Chain A
Amino acid sequence: MKLAGNNRRILNILFTGLLIFAMVASSWKLLHIKPQENINGLVPFALREQIYLFQKSPLNRKVFVIVQGPDENSSLDYARGLQQSLLDQHLIKPGFQPSLDRMQAWLGALPFRWTAKDEQQTLTKLSAEAVDRLMAENYKKLISLEGWVLKPLLLADPLHLIDLMGQKFALLNPQTSVRYQNGFLTDATGRVHLGIYELNAIPDFAAARQMTQFFQQFSKDLPADVKAFFLGGLRYTAENVQIIQRDLWIVGTLAMLSLILIFISFLRMKQALLIYLLPLAVTPIAAWVTYWIFDGISGITLGFGSVVAGLSVDYAVYVFFALRSGQERQLITPPLKRHLFCTFTTSALCFVSLFISSVEVFRQIAVFALTGLLISLLIALYILPVYWKNLPIAENSISKSLPPKISKPFAWSLCFGVICLGVIGLFQIHFESDLNSLNATSGIFKQQYNILQNTLQGRDQEQALLFVKGRTREEALEQSERFEQQAGIPLAVNALFPSKNTAEKQVAQWRNFWNQDRVLKLQNDLEISAKKLGMVPAAFKPFIDFLTDLTQKDTADFSSIYDPFISLPNGDWAVTHMVPYSPRLLQQATRFGAILIAGSQLQQDLLKQIQQESLWVVELAFLLNFAAVTIIFRSIRKALLAFIPVLFAAGFTFACFWIFQLKINLFVLIFLPLLMGLGIDYAIFQLTRHELAPSIRTAYAPAALWVAALSTLAGFGVLIFARHSVLFMMGISSFLGIGSAMLSAQYLLPAILEKK
């Protein structure tokens, strides 16, 4: 074979050395990088901002801790015990603790948040009788045991103006049907207590594992009728990690066993081991190139891309079997080269079409696969033949035996029937629109999630998150206030976080309200009332000073209770509001330039976008491949024939989904271009073989196609045993798709290609 002639031997050695160096250097580099776990890479560009905001929204950063007991009291007891244990283990941050300092700070914040409604309520407290009543109440509290605790606040605020701030905080909780008691949210029965906490660590795999272990330990000591668990993003991570780890172990073992079986069945030579070493050489280099281009690489790209790199063995397999056929290298080199370039082109074009997707991970996978396939091609054509110089000729049983022939009419009929079934199936199959289905969750998780849902039941309207943006925090606050005015809906956050302009106006309103006459009258009433109760009249002077202080500054910090600010990647800011969802509000927000996200709407948008992009990818891949095969074979007929395994496989797969009532998820869409590439590759193998003179057809042994297809199935198909829905969907799609493409290419296509 002249793929690597004698005069190129030194060049080949250099090339091998360079490859080994690149492989080692890339592996070393990869050991020092952390794969991206950012969901933004998985989201279409049009929705990236929405997902980012949703992720950064105040509640999304929390962990939900739920305790369900046989009765209200025991549930509360265990909820408190659990809260304390979580704090002791430093798993959560201490929540908001009321203190006098904080209460006084809140009181100091009131002038900056003073509204007409506050004025109306305060006026009812300013009559002499009302002052007497409040002072009597204060006196009772002062001489009670807790008097020394409340004394500073009662002296600072004898009219209980702090209640006005409490009302502003109460508006932050839109779930009015949920009770907030003893520091927990409770359901109607009181048997469920829900604590919402901020995590003490970054919500990654390690934190998820630590939290899971804590709850496993804590639950051991609980009576049978008490349940304690956590939910939220961290729980999804914990569930996914557990299931994926189990899946990887099973799938890895089965894949390895399958490859060993293929090796024993078809290869059985130490030289053939090089075939399966190919992915080890290709994967790190492809990963490093991807990392270099994108300045990072997603964990999903590494996972999915590594499997794609498994395709790299195909080229080596074809070369290996061709070299063992006993044919003259000069005779088989041109068709083999043409075949491999054609196969590479079609596969590459399938991945190239992924570039039109705005999902960054798809583009990363495209680069990864293209790099991997190119290196594999070069190795298969120019390096491996050097090491496969004196291969023994294959036994007849492997190289020459053909699969049993079937008749041409039967082949056409079968193709037509399966494709028709597939078309019907395509319109009948169920598409899983719930994004949660992409998470691997246990049955217990679903039960626990229902408990949380029931606890939060009673909301009349779906809640949505409203994000109002600005170049600065201040501008975002101003925009929020403008939106509140335009939309005519109250935004609780605005009442607590006024813009500077509004705060200045409200302080002016406060000063205007607490004019000299009103303050003097109040001071007089307070002193009279104090004297009646045996209190020193001057005791309330600090309160009077507070009302008339002209040097007030707003120093209150409410972020420990609710932090509505989100810093955007472009340096802008957004203020988060929780509002009841309505289509009208969505229109208003869109017109204003704000973003309104309701869970259901976001899900629909995301699915729609991914479906649309996937369709474009498939269409483009189809067109590019058709054009490429037509050009290479210079025949439209052959190009059409090349799509028979693809159409048959698609029809068979969709028919099976329909018949077995399998719900498919969006990962099937991602798999379609790959399936197309593989189907065409198998067809090209048969087309090339068909074009060869009968005397050298043994270079294209059917066993080569078996090994190539089964090796791919060993990587993908075993995913059918995975419990994770995404991995399972990839497994079942590849098992049905690749399996049927392989069978149709092996049996149907030769029959169709036969001349009458």
Chain B
Amino acid sequence: MKKIIFTVCFLLFSVGVMAQDLQPAEENSLAQEIQQRFASVQTLSASFTQEKHMSLLEQPVTSAGYFAFSKDPAKIRWEYTEPFQNGFLMSEGKTFRLEEGIKKPVKNAMSSHIAAQMMMWLSFDLTELSKNYEVEYFERGVMLYPKGKITVLQKITAWFSTENPQALEKIRLDEPGGDYTLLRFLNPQINQPLKKELFQ
């Protein structure tokens, strides 16, 4: 089942979030409903596939990998297994690059900044996101439009699963100029114990 549960995403769902074509009362009601839906999710892990559609690539490139997320303390491991084994790890505020499964410290501020941004998107902390994005709802998900200076992304679209109310099916990251990345999530595991080694 190509669905994933988004746990952390809406736990801190709050005021900055706006609903498209919804009345304020409906917005509040929806926010509360989503908050309740995802409140119980503490951990999440899943495999994923990623399609890169870039004008500079002669063909779209598909990658596969695995990610694990813990809400408290905040930790995330995002790792590709194909075609290369690499990724990143954020644990207790520190960022590491993963190369062939080996953890390497991130030295420059730019990489840390990028990793922090990715953590924010992946964790889908809407309180944080709403500081940087306008949030709009559509029938099956949300769309995030960058505010101000964020110019590398045009919008982020997240589709919620119709079958599992705590699940997300896919995310599409649209860049200016037409390039985009499509992430599809597979075999989600909700509130299952995560191996400590994943974050060490």
Contacts and interface: CB of A to CB of B under 8 A. Distances in A.
Contacts of A96: 109
Specify which of B58, B80, B95, B115 lies most central, judged by the most chain A CB atoms within 10 Å of its CB.
B58
A206 interface: no
Interface string A142-185: 11111111111001000000000010000000000000011100
Interface string B7-47: 00000000000000000000000000000000000000000
Contacts of A413: none
B181 A182 contact: no
A147 B94 contact: no
A97 B55 contact: no
Interface stretch (A314-322, A534-542, A618-626, A642-650): A534-542
Contacts of A155: 56
A100 to B, nearest CB: 6
Contact of A77 (B92, B114, B179): B92
Interface string B53-70: 011111101010000000
Chain A interface SS verdict (over half) = helix
B113 interface: yes
B118 interface: yes
A80 interface: yes
Interface string A524-561: 00000000001110010000000000000000000000
A152 B151 CA distance: 11
A548 to B, nearest CB: 21
B173 interface: yes
B54 A142 contact: yes
A103 B113 CA distance: 13
A149 B80 contact: no
B57 A148 contact: no
A536 B92 contact: no
Given A144-B80, A148-B173, A73 B86 contact: no
B61 A534 contact: yes
Nearest to B62: A143
A149 B55 CA distance: 15
B185 interface: no
Interface residues of A, number: 32
A145 B149 contact: no
Contacts of B124: none
B54 A151 contact: yes
A482 B92 CA distance: 48
Interface in A98-132: 98-101, 103
Contact of B153 (A143, A148, A150, A181): A148
Contacts of A143: 50, 52, 57, 61, 63, 83-84
Given A99-B149, A148-B152, A142 B52 contact: yes
A140 interface: yes
Contacts of A182: 93-95, 112
B191 interface: no
A77 B80 contact: no
B69 to A, nearest CB: 14
Contacts of A97: 113
Contacts of A149: 114, 117, 152
Contacts of B55: 536
Interface string B66-106: 00000000000010100110111000111100000000010
A145 B56 contact: no
A98 B83 CA distance: 29
Contacts of A142: 52, 54, 56-57
B181 A147 contact: yes
Contacts of B1: none
A379 interface: no
B136 interface: no
A509 to B, nearest CB: 26
B108 interface: yes
Contact of B56 (A101, A103, A140, A536): A536
A374 B92 CA distance: 71
A536 B61 CA distance: 13
Contacts of B151: 100-101
Given A98-B109, A100-B152, A182-B112, A145 B50 contact: yes
A76 interface: yes
Nearest to B149: A99
A148 B175 contact: yes
23 contacts: A73-B93, A73-B94, A76-B93, A76-B94, A97-B113, A98-B109, A99-B113, A143-B52, A143-B57, A143-B83, A144-B87, A145-B183, A149-B114, A151-B179, A152-B152, A166-B108, A182-B94, A183-B109, A534-B57, A535-B56, A535-B58, A536-B56, A539-B56
- Which 10 pairs, one residue from A and one from B, show the smallest C-beta to C-beta distance? A539-B56, A98-B110, A73-B92, A76-B93, A143-B61, A98-B109, A536-B56, A98-B113, A534-B58, A148-B175
Given A101-B151, A140-B84, A146-B118, 9 more contacts: A103-B110, A143-B84, A145-B50, A145-B181, A146-B115, A148-B152, A152-B152, A182-B112, A534-B59
Interface of B: 50, 52, 54-59, 61, 63, 78, 80, 83-84, 86-88, 92-95, 105, 108-110, 112-115, 117-118, 149, 151-153, 173, 175, 179, 181, 183
Interface of A: 73, 76-77, 80, 96-101, 103, 140, 142-152, 155, 166, 181-183, 534-536, 539
